[in-house]
């Protein structure tokens, strides 16, 4: 039996697009001799559809698409993921399900049992968990079909009290197939390989796993579909960050033509780079936009975002706006212009001194002689926000936010100023990782000016200003932030590792008191195990750890 895994990039709610992509790949797999072609979790509608699932028409369109797909399943079978209605009144109205389609009709419906409700997942909000399990029979073989999380209740600290495979194995299946929508983070591929290998080993069955690829707003899917033998040895690993169709031949309980291989994990920073380029590109393509605008300061954050945007969209579609203040240095303007020249993107220079001075004059009577402070700094930052948003409105550009995760964490940014934008490109990338990204982008030749990398970071909103005036050094700050945000360690646990007590408490207080700002920021491309946004839900007025 030849089984094709179709690792594709879907578009949420774009039924015509998704259906055509699926049917094209059915025909391609058939032409290449496949007996069965397997698509990802909720492939028909895209993942995650979120509250689209509450619309009756949305579910109707899923079913209509499935029936159109079935017409093409002549001489080849397919497995597709989609939401289906729960005909029982009690419980949630839908199942997260898969159709097994053969000779033009749906022969089996498999429903997902383990519904993740953590981090970016919220499936129990919509779906009823399955409580009945039956293998699919095809070409005289029994297939144990599961959906994503159904294979993740293994190893230490299981989240659920049962395993679908414990029931399916009683029916003596010949092979396991898992269809998934497994979001990217820079360490998730290693974990994924371990979990799936352990399933193959535990149940003594070969396993084929198909993931989707592409970005859906902030969530990025990296592909990396996998094949294992019954001993849990990794046999093959499909491409990361791009579409691919691949056929595997199964003979008995063996995947033919593959020897054992090791998981070829890319370095974290290369994975982050590829994910961000894909995230930018898909955000624009799936939203129907082409051109981006960003403020380019000459600093490393905006330089990296500009570089990523040029790689994702083409430099001809990127507008960099230089907005010097009266405190900006000449070298900042030169560094920004050097970057523009390196990439060949468009640029404008729009000084904000006149606007900031006008606001100062306008507010002077109300401020009644009080000294210059953060207020005037924020006015300058908001002037910059007005400029880039004006460019966005006038020319149809989409504004890219350039705040990094370290700044987002401690609130080192101005609401309605440098925190505005349609998508946060590096908001899940710590400052120390931004430096690594810059070096990676420069690996084949310097395109980000060296001075943007080596000079002390500064917002240039007052004379001689440096980030270090307000923040601890980024090496220390990022380590403490990682412990708190990604590892969810308390202040006492972090202090016990040897960090200064006053510093730890100050940083954690800054993180918690900045929560109100993060509620008002754009969606952030998720590349870490714990990103700001839909996967991290904290109260704004909570007292704990503040």
- Is 182 within any annotated ligand binding site? yes
Q: Per the residue annotation, which of 41, 149, 237, 460 is the catalytic one?
A: 41
List pLDDT tens digits, range 165-210: 999 999 999 999 999 999 999 999 999 999 999 999 999 999 999 9
Average pLDDT over residues 295-312: 97
Q: Per the residue annotation, which of 62, 78, 148, 310 is the catalytic one?
A: 148
How far apart, in whole angstroms, are the C-alpha atoms of residue 273 and residue 147? 29
Q: Which residues contact 222 (CB under 8 A, 6 or more apart)?
A: 184, 188, 189, 211, 213, 240, 241, 271, 274, 275
- Is 231 within any annotated ligand binding site? no
List pLDDT tens digits, range 446-486: 999 999 999 888 877 778 778 878 889 999 999 999 999 99
- Catalytic site residue 112? yes
Q: Which residue has the higher pLDDT, 530 or 544?
A: 530
- Is 332 within any annotated ligand binding site? no
- Is 8 within any annotated ligand binding site? no
Q: Per the residue annotation, which of 112, 230, 291, 431 is the catalytic one?
A: 112
- Catalytic site residue 201? no
pTM (2 d.p.): 0.96
Does residue 546 have a pLDDT over 80? Answer: no
Q: Is 265 helix (H, G, I), strand (E, B) or coil?
A: coil
User: What is the structure's pLDDT at 336?
Assistant: 96
List pLDDT tens digits, range 33-68: 999 999 999 999 999 999 999 999 999 999 999 999
- Is 223 within any annotated ligand binding site? no
List pLDDT tens digits, range 357-383: 999 999 999 999 999 999 999 999 999
- Catalytic site residue 148? yes
Q: Which residues contact 171 (CB under 8 A, 6 or more apart)?
A: 134, 135, 142, 144
Q: How does DSSP assign 29-91, residue by residue?
A: HHHTT-SEEE--TTTTT-S--GGGGG-HHHHHHHHHHHHHHHHT-SSSEEEEEEEEE--SSSS
List pLDDT tens digits, range 224-263: 999 999 999 999 999 999 999 999 999 988 999 999 999 9
Does residue 330 have a pLDDT over 80? Answer: no
List pLDDT tens digits, range 121-148: 999 999 999 999 999 999 999 999 999 9
- Is 542 within any annotated ligand binding site? no
- Is 140 within any annotated ligand binding site? no
Domains of the chain: 2-258 (3.60.110.10), 270-471 (3.40.50.620)
List pLDDT tens digits, range 76-124: 999 999 999 999 999 999 999 999 999 999 999 999 999 999 999 999 9
Does residue 544 have a pLDDT over 80? Answer: no
Handedness of CA 86, 42, 309, 486 (dihedral sign): positive
How far apart, in whole angstroms, are the C-alpha atoms of residue 11 and residue 23? 15
């Amino acid at each position: 039996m030849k089984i094709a895994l179709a690792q594709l990039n879907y578009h949420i709610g774009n039924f015509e697009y998704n259906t055509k992509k699926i049917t094209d790949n059915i025909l391609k797999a058939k032409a290449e001799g496949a007996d069965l072609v397997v698509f990802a979790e909720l492939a028909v509608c895209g993942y995650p559809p979120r509250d689209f699932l509450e619309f009756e028409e949305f579910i109707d369109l899923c079913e209509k698409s499935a029936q159109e797909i079935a017409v093409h399943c002549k001489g080849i079978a397919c497995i597709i993921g989609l939401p289906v209605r729960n005909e029982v009144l009690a419980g949630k109205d839908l199942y997260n399900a898969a159709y097994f389609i053969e000779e033009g009709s749906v022969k089996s419906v498999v429903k997902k049992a383990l519904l993740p409700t953590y981090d970016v997942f919220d499936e129990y909000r919509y779906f009823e968990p399955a409580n009945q399990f039956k293998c699919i029979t095809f070409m005289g073989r029994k297939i144990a079909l599961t959906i994503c999380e159904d294979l993740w209740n293994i190893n230490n600290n299981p989240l659920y009290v049962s395993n679908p495979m414990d029931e399916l194995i009683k029916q003596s299946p010949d092979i396991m197939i898992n269809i998934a929508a497994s979001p990217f983070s820079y360490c998730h591929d290693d974990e994924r390989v371990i979990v799936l290998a352990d399933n193959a080993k535990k149940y003594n069955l070969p396993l084929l796993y198909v993931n989707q690829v592409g970005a859906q707003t902030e969530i990025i899917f990296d592909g990396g579909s996998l094949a294992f033998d019954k001993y849990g040895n990794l046999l093959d690993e499909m491409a990361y960050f791009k579409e691919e169709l691949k056929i595997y031949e199964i003979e008995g309980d063996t995947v033919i033509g593959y020897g054992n291989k090791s998981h070829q994990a890319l370095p974290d920073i290369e994975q982050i780079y590829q994910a961000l380029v894909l995230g930018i590109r898909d955000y624009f393509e799936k939203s129907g936009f082409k051109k981006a605008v960003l403020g380019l300061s000459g600093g490393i954050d905006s330089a990296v975002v500009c570089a990523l945007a040029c790689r994702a969209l083409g430099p001809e579609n990127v507008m960099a706006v230089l907005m010097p203040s009266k405190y900006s240095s000449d070298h900042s303007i030169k560094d920004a212009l050097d970057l523009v020249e390196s990439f060949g993107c468009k640029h404008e220079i729009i000084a904000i001194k006149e606007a900031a001075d006008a606001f100062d004059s306008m507010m002077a009577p109300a401020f009644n002689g009080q000294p210059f402070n953060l207020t005037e700094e924020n006015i300058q930052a908001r002037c910059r926000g007005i400029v880039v948003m004006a460019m966005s409105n006038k020319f149809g550009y989409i504004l890219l936010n350039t705040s990094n995760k370290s700044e987002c964490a401690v609130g080192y940014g101005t609401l309605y100023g440098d925190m505005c934008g349609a998508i946060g490109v590096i908001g899940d990338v710590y400052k120390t990782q931004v430096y690594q990204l810059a070096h990676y982008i420069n690996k084949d030749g310097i395109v980000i000016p060296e001075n943007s990398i080596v000079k002390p970071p500064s917002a240039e909103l007052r004379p001689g200003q440096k980030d270090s005036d307000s923040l601890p050094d980024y090496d220390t700050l990022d380590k403490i932030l990682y412990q708190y945000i990604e590892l969810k360690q308390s202040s006492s646990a972090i202090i016990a590792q040897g960090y200064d007590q006053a510093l730890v408490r100050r940083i954690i207080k800054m993180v918690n008191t900045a929560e109100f700002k993060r509620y008002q920021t754009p969606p952030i491309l998720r590349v870490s195990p714990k990103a700001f946004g839909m996967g991290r839900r904290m109260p704004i007025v909570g007292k704990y750890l503040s």
